[in-house]
Amino acid sequence: MNRNGIDAYRTNQVMGASPGQLVIMLYDHVIRCLAQEDMRGASKGLVELMGSLDLDYQEVSGRLFSLYEYCLDLVKKSEYEQASKILTEMRQMWAAAIGRMADRGEEVRQEKEPISVES
């Protein structure tokens, strides 16, 4: 598959994703960037995760924001492995929660602008 085909596939994947799936995609992006020691890509992904938080639920979103901020600090210190451990665990928790919601039919699809996820 050529580069244009890959880009089209990714665009379709993002456009058809539910909000929960988009969060998982962001986690995957950041974890992949951490494995490659890509400070710029990991930082951009973490900033996207921070921006995706629903501030109407301040107790939860505030804690997540603090964790993302801590991981961003680890990335700036080139402590990729530690940030990856934290984010991998968080991704697993999100995936489990989203899976349970999908099993109960609770996740609502929303039409949103696609999130820019670069590899």
Q: What is the DSSP string of 13-47?
A: HHHT--HHHHHHHHHHHHHHHHHTT-HHHHHHHHH
68 sits in which H/E element = helix 58-76
The total number of structural domains that make up the chain: 1
d(CA 38, CA 31): 10
Whether residue 8 is contained in a domain is answered as: no
Whether residue 98 is contained in a domain is answered as: yes
Whether residue 33 is contained in a domain is answered as: yes
Whether residue 1 is contained in a domain is answered as: no
User: In the Cβ-directed half-sphere of 80, how many Cα atoms lie within 13 Å?
Assistant: 15
- CATH number of the domain encompassing residue 97: 1.20.120.340
Which residues constitute the domain of residue 91?
A: 19-103
Whether residue 65 is contained in a domain is answered as: yes
- For each of the chain's 119 residues, which pLDDT tens digit applies? 666 554 454 454 555 567 778 889 999 999 999 999 999 999 999 999 999 898 888 898 999 999 999 999 999 999 999 999 999 999 999 899 888 877 777 554 443 344 444 54
pTM, rounded to two decimals: 0.74
